[in-house]
Chains A and B, each alone.
Chain A
């Protein structure tokens, strides 16, 4: 796959709009733009599904206003990650699946469901639902995202600076998110002080690295 040497970008004739030099320069540098693009679709599938699932996780942190607020930051930033990378998929001549079920099924990270069974009437059975269980789901979702964007950094380093830049911006925020949920889970489950080292975002879901804001003005 990645071993096979493909034709170079020099093969794009003047005026030829059927090929993109933007993709061919990546191929010339040893990365298969089609393989990369499919990986990006899987990765933003996970951003999109976590945006959905975090809505539900956040709601079930009933009465824990500080936890809800932090989960909301992580939720909105996952949406920002989806929005940041969608155009790149199209630049690399890919597209979003027409069926949202296909998009969710190929997401590179697990569904972050509320960790409780359903009762007989199709509602969540919340009788045994613990805050710490929700925090653990959130933490593991962030860890998956860190691994995914690290893989994409590895794939693109030295070959595709545009995708690399997006992936490393997202990775910055995913590492923030992991730190937040380690702090909260440590306190909630173990009674341990394990500081993230951060203060809250300025606005909910600020996304200091992945939106067109002044660069990390909360630092």
Chain B
């Protein structure tokens, strides 16, 4: 990698009231460089977002992008439809603009995947 990572973006992390995190109901602003993931930056800033694989596969870390832009260069199971539906995976999402994300959206994203017959929603929620 020769590109410099001077660009940093302000990412506003909105933790929903109903989430199980200690930070429920809070909003945190985190400065994130373009090489850093939202998850890693949030955790370093003391906001312990939920995650598992950290490879853009399991969707445990799902969030909603309400404003701004992110890229997912290393995500293993994430596609443009997910993106168009407004979901991101914080474990692999790197900012490309000042952004606002609503975190802890696993249940919602799982439902979305199930409704579109895609894993892991299709295998976890089907009866």
Contact = CB atoms under 8 A, between A and B. Distances in A.
Interface of A: 1-3, 38, 42, 97, 101-103, 105-106, 108-110, 140, 143-144, 147-148, 151
A106 B55 contact: no
Most buried by A among B51, B58, B60, B77: B58
Interface of B: 20, 51-55, 57-58, 60, 76-77, 107, 119-120, 122-124, 126
Given A106-B124, A110-B77, A151 B55 contact: no
Contact of B52 (A3, A101, A151): A151
B75 to A, nearest CB: 10
Contact of A105 (B53, B54, B76, B120): B120
B77 A108 contact: no
Most buried by A among B53, B119, B120: B53
B52 A147 contact: yes
B13 to A, nearest CB: 19
Contacts, number: 52
B96 to A, nearest CB: 24
A108 B119 contact: no
B121 to A, nearest CB: 9
A171 to B, nearest CB: 14
A102 B55 contact: no
A179 B53 CA distance: 18
Nearest to B20: A2
A144 B119 contact: no
Given A3-B20, A38-B124, A109-B57, A147 B51 contact: yes
Contacts of A1: 20, 107
17 contacts: A1-B20, A2-B20, A3-B20, A105-B119, A106-B123, A108-B57, A108-B60, A110-B57, A110-B76, A140-B55, A143-B55, A144-B53, A147-B52, A147-B54, A151-B51, A151-B52, A151-B60
A154 to B, nearest CB: 9
A108 B76 contact: no
Contacts of B122: 102, 105
